[in-house]
Amino acid sequence: MTEILFLFSTTLMYATPLIFTGLGGVLSEKSGVINIGLEGMMTFGAFIASWVAISHGNPWLGFLAGGFGGLFLAIFHAIASIKFKGNQVVSGIAINSLGTGLAIFFCRILFDGASMTPPLDLEKKIPVFMSQYATVYIAFFVTFLIWFIFTKTALGLRIISAGEHPKAAAAAGINVSLYRYLGVLSSGFLAGLGGGSLSLAIVSNFRPTLISGQGFIALAAMIFGKWNPVGTLCACLFFGFSQALVVYIGGFEDLHISSQLLATLPYILTLIILVGFMKKTTAPSALGQ
């Protein structure tokens, strides 16, 4: 029973940043804009969250600031993709490089040349309820909120129409660009929250290798979840479980399994799922157009 509880709690802990970021991907791509820049938005959000939390001694303020850090980079992606109709994949790649570069650059300036921030005081971490960080419950609430918006509100239908049938939506008087901006900016904010939840509630500081592909795993979860908020949540829980399994198996020293080999497990599962499920999923009709 102890092992099961450990796997359950660790799964939720590692899944939370993926949930925030995966939901951000859903919002952007349901509106019709490819966003592979989530990795960079997560990275910059993680740094901003750590910096603000350490500077002000308030993890909640840092968590919120991390969201705005991700949103800041999303503005550039939105302008390039929507206003100037640039290649969305190229723009996303640039955002990934920009987010990582800016995070390390400002970290060195603000922390005396160090490439990582000092650890956050354990007494000032995100509060814990029922053995789980509060960010876990926020992630589940955001999932429900996005599901509700998509299925029960005119706002959700307009975002979906911008990604499925933009010409028909425009003919009906819907400002397609406006809803695409909303989707992309929201995705950046959520990706920043994902980075912030990782640097504050899990690791307690920022370091250049903190994200290390988490943004791409969140994208895989979005595809695995068929661009559906609840499906994405379930996929993120699966990937979180794979990371929890790495931690659990790593505790058995008598197995003599290389830690580097174990660390590749989540990424191997990502590749397997992408290869096995990519042809079975259908992206929004006008995605990338």
Tell the burial category of 89 from Cβ atoms under 10 Å away from its Cβ (0-12, 13-18, 19+). middle
Instruction: DSSP letter for 34, please.
Output: -
pTM (predicted TM-score): 0.92
In tens, the pLDDT along 81-112 reads 999 998 999 999 999 999 999 999 999 999 98
Which of 25-34, 158-167, 184-193, 270-279 is least confident?
Answer: 270-279
At residue 15, the 3 state secondary structure works out as: helix
Contact of 27 with 159, CB cutoff 8 Å: yes
The pLDDT, as a whole number, for residue 1 is: 62
Dist CA 4 CA 8 (whole Å)? 6
The pLDDT, as a whole number, for residue 219 is: 93
Domain ranges of the chain: 2-280
Which of 94-98, 164-168, 266-270 is least confident?
Answer: 266-270
For the cut 80, the answer to whether the pLDDT of residue 267 exceeds it is: no
Q: Which of 240, 208, 178 is nearest to 21 (CA)?
A: 240
In tens, the pLDDT along 47-93 reads 999 999 999 888 899 999 999 999 999 999 999 999 999 899 999 99
What is the third-level CATH fold of 2-280?
Answer: ABC transporter involved in vitamin B12 uptake, BtuC (1.10.3470)
